[in-house]
Amino acid sequence: MKTLTLEAPAKINLTLDILGRRTDGYHDMRMVMQAVSLGDTVTVAEAAGGFSLLTEGISLPAGKVTLEQRAADAFFHRLGRPVPGLEVRLAKQVPAYAGLGGGSADVAAVLRCLRTLYAPDLPRQALEEIGLAVGSDVPFCVRGGTCLAEGRGEILTDLPPLPDCAIVLCKPDFGLPTPELFARLDGADLGPRPDTAAMAAALARGDLAAAAACLGNVFERVLTEEEGEEIRSIKEALLRHSALGAAMSGSGPTVFGLFDDRQKAVRAKEALEGRYRQTYLAAPVKILEKME
C-alpha cells in the first residue's frame, strides 16, 4: 500500500506589502516569504475507497469539503484520472488562524505526497499551479525556502536564504479576520511601505542584521487600537530580549523576532510563554525540493 509522511513547514512574512485591489477581487501583493521549522506532519496513504482526513491537535467542522480533499481532487483532475481511495493523517503543531500559513502548508504537503506517490515526473511549477486553485499561499508552501512573492502570492522568485538564525514566534489569544483586514486596507493611508528591495539586497549579502532592520507588514497599520497595542507589546518584549527585529506575520496575529544567538532566543521564548501559551522556537527552512 502506498504511503508517505512529510513535514509541512509554516511560513513567516519578512515583508508584506499590498499594492492595491485587482479587478478580480484579489489584492496584488509584494512580499518576502520564509519557511520555518515549526510545522505539521502530514501522512498520505492509499485506502480502500473514498477520502478521509484524520486529525490530531485540531477539530474540523463536520460536513464540509476540506482543503486537503479539494487539493486531491485538483491534483487528479490535472492528471486526468479518478481520485483513488485516500486517507490523510494530519498532526497539527502550527496554530490555526495565526498568519503562519498552517492550512496552506498542510495542503502543500498533501500535494507533495501525491506527486511523489502518483506522478513523480510532474514539474514543481505544475504542482504550484494546482495549489493556487486551493489557496494563494499554497504555491509558496509547495516550494518553501525564501521567495519574493507577487501577484496573489503565486508569482515566486527564489531569493538567497535567510542567514542561519533563531526565530521566536508568539501568537496572542485572539484572532484577526483576514477578509476584514484586507477591507481595512482599501483606501487607507498606509504611510511608509516595507522596503522589499532592501530586504532582498540584505539577503543577497547574507546580512541578518540588515534583513531584521527591513522587517515590515502593512497589516500592522490597520489594526484597531486594542489589537495594535497587543502586537506592539509582543514586539517590544522580543526586542528587549535581544531580537534584531520583530514584525507581525501575514494577517496575524502571530509576531516573530529574529535572533543571532539561540540562547537569547530561548530566554525570550521563556519570558513570553508565561503569558502567551502559543510561543515557539524555530529556524529558517530551505527549499523543500531538497527535502524530498
E strand map for the chain: 3-21, 27-46, 51-56, 86-91, 146-151, 155-158, 166-171, 216-217, 245-248, 255-259, 278-282
Look up residue 120 and give its three cell numbers: 513523480
Look up residue 27 and give its three cell numbers: 489584492
Residue 137 appears among annotated catalytic residues: yes
Strand-pairing partners, residue 246, are 257
What DSSP character marks residue 286?
A: -
φ and ψ at residue 106, rounded to 5 degrees: -65, -45
Going by C-alpha positions, the residue among 278, 240, 234 that lies closest to residue 256 is 234
Spell out the long-range contacts of 241-246 with Cβ–Cβ below 8 A and sequence spacing 24 or more.
241/267, 241/268, 241/271, 242/268, 243/168, 243/212, 243/268, 244/165, 244/208, 244/209, 244/212, 244/213, 245/211, 245/212, 245/213, 245/214, 245/215, 246/215
SS3 96: coil
Catalytic, out of 17, 40, 106, 137: 137
> Is the bond preceding residue 253 a cis peptide, omega within 30 degrees?
yes
Active site residues: 11, 137
